[in-house]
Amino acid sequence: MKTIRYIIQKEFKQIFRNKGMLPIIFIMPLLQLVILSNAATFEIKNIKFSYIDHDNTSFSRALIDKFKASSYFNVVTDFPSEKIASSEMLKGNVDVILEIPHYFERDLSKDKKTDLSVIINAIDGAAAGVENVYINQIVRSFNKNAIANLMQPSDKKYNVKTIDSIPSFWYNETLNYKTYMVPGILVLLVTMITLFLSGMNIVREKEIGTIEQMNVTPIKKHQFIIGKLFPFWIIGFGLLTIGLILAKVIFNVPMIGNLALIYFFTAIYLLVVLGMGFFISNFTDTQQQAMFISWFFIVIFILMSGLFTPIESMPQWAQHLTDFNPIKYYVEVMRMVMLKGASFKDILPQFSIILTYAIVMNGLAVWSYKKIA
């Protein structure tokens, strides 16, 4: 026990003695949390909107005013012809072109229906899909009001009614994307820092030549590994704590569930990450190699975690691969506990997988570490 305590104290001294390391461990992740949570958004705003109004009636102008009043659209200009508008879209000056046909008001009054032509720049398919939803919402709202205004007194005897749906938004009533993104980004930062630090830790000993000295001492293998990884386990908790405080103070993310459950799950999850970092360090000779290999895995884990791209939208083979992604389960648990108030029973499937992952990963790390004597 004294040996483990000595190694842990030695590691903490090295960490806090290096003044350049402290900002990397604490300041950079917190700045990334604040910046990325504001930048990473599924909302599309300031859509460059243009229109071609062939009708030039009060109804067509009312429709254009609907788009002008929306906070999502920035009405750039109107065009006299589709050819000119298409040319401007080709140059990237507009994102959406709405073409209002001739006799728009007349057809709406007579037949209670008409068609609108909408051209959307779909180079970014995800953004185009969101833009299309915004446009349909505005058009449906306008259409509903227009039909009510155009309805003749003779139509009212048929008691024409519309069916309205009243949505109820659970777990994120204000539809604030930060409520969804902040827990996930916090997971990524905790994972990245602990993985990089643990991955480079043993390699640093190799580079400065002290690993040989440690190997020939009477220190047992498990003592050495625990002493080396325990400081980064504590640092992971520190990052999580500060991140949760910022999530509440800056972004007002609801924390409905038991925070102790988050810390308990994190304790096991950090064992997975630290074991992975230690495993990488056993097969690399320089910190640069360890950094590149760690970065290779972290990029794959991030992209396949379901944070930025829904797992359900991935190909079937990719969905199966995500079952081996520890970040996926941590992100799910963070959101379930923080936003839904999930209990331990609710997260038991994720906990079982992460616990198995921790045992296997640390077993491989210990097995691959070769100690002389």
Average pLDDT over residues 12-37: 61
3-state secondary structure 77-144: EECCCHHHHHHHHHHCCCCEEEEECCCHHHHHHHHCCCCCEEEECCCCHHHHHHHHHHHHHHHHHHHH
Average pLDDT of the chain, as a whole number: 80
- Mention every residue, 6+ apart, whose C-beta is less than 8 A from residue 51: 64, 67, 75, 78, 79, 97, 98, 99, 100
pLDDT value, residue 328:
92
Instruction: Report how far residue 112's alpha carbon sits from residue 118's, in angstroms, rounded to the nearest whole number.
Output: 20
Q: Are 98 and 159 in contact (CB under 8 A)?
A: no
pLDDT at 160 over 50: no
Portion of the chain with pLDDT greater than 90, in percent: 19
pLDDT at 266 over 50: yes
Q: Which helix (H) or strand (E) holds 53?
A: strand 47-53
What does the pLDDT average to over 34-41? 60
pLDDT tens-digit profile of 167-186? 556 677 777 777 888 888 89
pLDDT digits (tens, 9 = 90+) for 93-129: 888 999 988 888 887 777 666 778 888 887 666 678 8
| Pairwise CA distance, residues 14 & 8, whole Å | 10
Q: Is 70 helix (H, G, I), strand (E, B) or coil?
A: coil
Distance from chain centroid for Cα 78: 37
Distance of alpha carbon 271 from alpha carbon 262, whole angstroms: 14
- Work out the percent of the chain whose per-residue pLDDT is above 70: 76
User: Strands across the sheet with 47-53, in order?
Assistant: 73-78, 47-53, 96-100, 117-120
264 pLDDT above the threshold of 90: yes
Residue 7: pLDDT band with limits 50, 70, 90: low
Over residues 11-22, the pLDDT tens digits come to 666 555 655 555
Cβ count near 83 (within 10 Å): 8
pTM of the model: 0.73
- Measured between alpha carbons, how far is 338 from 45 in angstroms, rounded to an integer? 28
CB 369 within 8 A of CB 278: yes
Residue 253 CB neighbours (<10 A): 22
- CA terminus-to-terminus distance, the chain: 20
Q: CA-CA distance, 205 to 209, in Å (whole number)?
A: 6
Confidence tier at 199 by pLDDT (50, 70, 90): confident
Indicate whether 161 pLDDT > 50: no
What integer pLDDT is reported at residue 157 of this predicted model? Answer: 47
State the amino acid at position 225 in one-letter form: I
pLDDT of residue 49: 92
What is the per-residue pLDDT for 124? 63
76 vs 6 pLDDT, higher one: 76
Q: Could you tell me the two tokens for 14? A: 């090295």
| Alpha helix stretches (DSSP H) within the chain | 2-17, 21-22, 28-39, 58-69, 82-91, 104-111, 125-150, 177-208, 210-215, 221-249, 259-282, 287-303, 316-321, 326-335, 348-368
Contact 30, 243 (CB under 8 A): yes
pLDDT digits (tens, 9 = 90+) for 128-152: 888 888 888 888 888 777 666 665 5
Strand partners, 53: 100
- Which run of H or E residues covers position 313? none
Topology of domain 47-158, CATH: abc type-2 transporter like fold (3.40.1710)
Instruction: Considering the chain, tell me which residue range(s) the CATH 3.40.1710.10 domain(s) occupy.
Output: 47-158
Q: State whether residue 49 is helix, strand or coil.
A: strand
Contact call for residues 282 and 201 (beta carbons, < 8 A) = no
Q: Phi and psi of 75, rounded to 5°?
A: -70, 110
Give pLDDT, residue 36. Answer: 60
**pLDDT attached to residue 24:** 59
